[in-house]
Chain A
């Protein structure tokens, strides 16, 4: 996805003179050609995330399209108030593109983890939150949204699915249907979910858009009364959207995601996912518990 981000943004800078890239001293090498061609619209802005968001909002006020890119915890958590006030409250459009989804920077430790991004930004009205599962999905979602009227947060993940879906903001894809439960896979855990549910009589939905959320499709497939959310971020991050979608329906809801604790180990993403059970085996265990009550 990182490669797709640099490639597509470079193309957008070439073709849309409104696009301005603000890089938080990361990914700079990938933008070297764009920087050479358009030095006035590609900036290694430095390591000052709060002011970078404010500056981006100022660019948006000036009619430009900011693309702000850095590591997720610094982009979302450090600069949250700027996201909330400078962009969202003022209803300004723009693009926040993070790297380091959840525990992608496993070996760097908790300062560089950010499993809270989806839940945190869900509390900021008007922000689109996109969680693509492949590079092609990233490209599609990014192209669809980069110039729209919203602030859009798009999450680059190191983990990717094998195959891409035809994705769009606000749409859930129905991968298969079944009777015993409805399993919702968010972004890059689709393959793990499909493997976990291979012989289960369950519906599997694939969601790459947390905000806007396709409430109608979830509601239409909630007849079993059992919903399992598989979230490659903090567990229950999407619960507000899910609960809102299921208003009035009887449903038992469970989540397999990243537990709300500091994951103090290092290693790799796979090491962490194995430890917390965000694996086909762990997902299947959660599903069985949900079905068995």
Chain B
């Protein structure tokens, strides 16, 4: 865990470079979406889960429902040693374990195969219910996108989780405003609250705020964390630029973005 802010930023920036470089090599990947969730992933894995494991507690089970942000999850899994860094080098190639969307049957640490949006939260509801039925501790944490919240299954699941008072379920919404141009989903906290959830809103790049939100005491209801984020966070050329949504940087772009040949 990097407690020194400078060291933390250095490590996060290195991960951003790995993500961008992997996309550049493959000519594939949703880099800005991966970057908008990187701080959330970092805190969830490197601080919350790490602390749970250190304390001998049942760790969170994390589902990346917005599967197109897979590069962020892959980079995180490399950083904690769950998958080898060499896998990231092969991202998107024919024989690679790592594709544009994560495959739970191929990648250790990937809990659910996602890609088509709106699938992770229903699965998470089922996993949370299974823990209740079988008397197991530990939470299910599902990260969805704001565009994903256009999907009806998100709200079906919100209704189910609220009705069944699944306090062991946490949904993080990566509110990077990618859907504002299509079908805006504003007032997310109020919407989830109306379905019986405990809703909190945070700056999705502020680590202390993320940590606080992800370590809230159980309330008897599922919790949603609305994380205000910047798509492409950390790469100036990409931030809030929709042209980069599914574009891969060239070698020249990488030099411009990171100042060297990645």
Contacts of A90 in B (CB 8 A): 104-105, 112-113
Query: When each residue 46-89 of chain A gets 1 if its CB lies under 8 Å from chain B and 0 otherwise, what string results?
Result: 10101111111111111110100000000000000110011001
Q: How close is B162's CB to chain A, nearest CB, in angstroms?
A: 12
Docked complex Cα distance between A46 and B163 (Å): 11
Cross-chain contact A51 with B116 (CB below 8 angstroms):
no
Cross-chain contact B122 with A54 (CB below 8 angstroms):
yes
* Contact of A45 with B by CB under 8 A: yes
Q: How close is B9's CB to chain A, nearest CB, in angstroms?
A: 36
* Contact of A41 with B by CB under 8 A: yes
* Contact of A40 with B by CB under 8 A: yes
Interface residues of B in 89-139 (CB under 8 A from A): 104-105, 111-113, 115-116, 118-119, 121-134, 136
Interface residues of A in 194-240 (CB under 8 A from B): none
Q: How close is A207's CB to chain B, nearest CB, in angstroms?
A: 31
Contact of A57 among B126, B136, B163 (CB under 8 A): B126
**With A48-B156, A51-B153 as contacts: A62 and B119 at CB distance below 8 Å:** no
Total residue contacts A-B, CB cutoff 8 A: 97
Docked complex Cα distance between A45 and B129 (Å): 12
Cross-chain contact B123 with A48 (CB below 8 angstroms):
no
Instruction: Determine which residue in B105, B118, B119 has the highest number of CB atoms from chain A within 10 A of its CB, and name it.
Output: B119
Cross-chain contact A58 with B130 (CB below 8 angstroms):
yes
Number of chain B residues whose Cβ lies closer than 8 Å to a Cβ of chain A: 31
Docked complex Cα distance between A90 and B104 (Å): 7
* Contact of A161 with B by CB under 8 A: no
**With A48-B159, A50-B153, A55-B160 as contacts: A86 and B127 at CB distance below 8 Å:** no
Query: When each residue 141-179 of chain B gets 1 if its CB lies under 8 Å from chain A and 0 otherwise, what string results?
Result: 000000000001100110110010000000000000000
Instruction: Determine which residue in B121, B126, B129, B136 has the highest number of CB atoms from chain A within 10 A of its CB, and name it.
Output: B126
**With A63-B134, A90-B104 as contacts: A58 and B156 at CB distance below 8 Å:** no
Cross-chain contact A50 with B113 (CB below 8 angstroms):
no
Docked complex Cα distance between A90 and B120 (Å): 12
Q: How close is A232's CB to chain B, nearest CB, in angstroms?
A: 32
**With A85-B119, A86-B119, A90-B105 as contacts: A54 and B130 at CB distance below 8 Å:** no
Query: When each residue 172-207 of chain A gets 1 if its CB lies under 8 Å from chain B and 0 otherwise, what string results?
Result: 000000000000000000000000000000000000
* Contact of A20 with B by CB under 8 A: yes
Q: How large is the interface on A (under 10, 10 to 19, 20 to 34, 35 or more residues)?
A: 20 to 34
Docked complex Cα distance between A190 and B181 (Å): 57
Interface residues of A in 7-45 (CB under 8 A from B): 20, 40-41, 45
Docked complex Cα distance between A41 and B130 (Å): 10
Contacts of A54 in B (CB 8 A): 119, 121-123, 125-126, 153, 157
Cross-chain contact B132 with A63 (CB below 8 angstroms):
no
Contact of B126 among A41, A48, A50, A58 (CB under 8 A): A58
Grouping DSSP codes into helix (H, G, I), strand (E, B) and loop, the A interface class, with mixed when no group exceeds half, is helix
* Contact of A140 with B by CB under 8 A: no
Docked complex Cα distance between A52 and B152 (Å): 12
Residue of B nearest to A53 (CB): B122
Docked complex Cα distance between A60 and B119 (Å): 15
Q: How close is A13's CB to chain B, nearest CB, in angstroms?
A: 12
Contacts of B124 in A (CB 8 A): 58
Docked complex Cα distance between A46 and B125 (Å): 14
Contact of B125 among A41, A51, A85 (CB under 8 A): A51
* Contact of A91 with B by CB under 8 A: yes
Cross-chain contact B128 with A58 (CB below 8 angstroms):
yes
Q: How close is A84's CB to chain B, nearest CB, in angstroms?
A: 9
Contact of A58 among B113, B129, B152 (CB under 8 A): B129
Residue of A nearest to B122 (CB): A54
Contact of B130 among A51, A63, A89 (CB under 8 A): A63
Contacts of A46 in B (CB 8 A): 159-160, 163
| Besides the known contacts A58-B122, A59-B126, A62-B130, 16 further A-B residue pairs in the complex with CB atoms under 8 A apart | A46-B163, A48-B156, A50-B156, A53-B122, A54-B153, A55-B160, A56-B126, A57-B122, A58-B130, A59-B129, A61-B126, A62-B134, A63-B134, A64-B134, A82-B119, A90-B105
27 CB contacts below 8 A, A to B, read: A20-B133, A45-B160, A48-B156, A50-B122, A50-B152, A51-B122, A51-B125, A54-B122, A54-B125, A55-B125, A55-B157, A57-B122, A58-B125, A58-B126, A59-B133, A60-B126, A61-B111, A61-B126, A62-B127, A62-B129, A62-B136, A63-B134, A64-B133, A66-B126, A81-B116, A82-B119, A86-B119
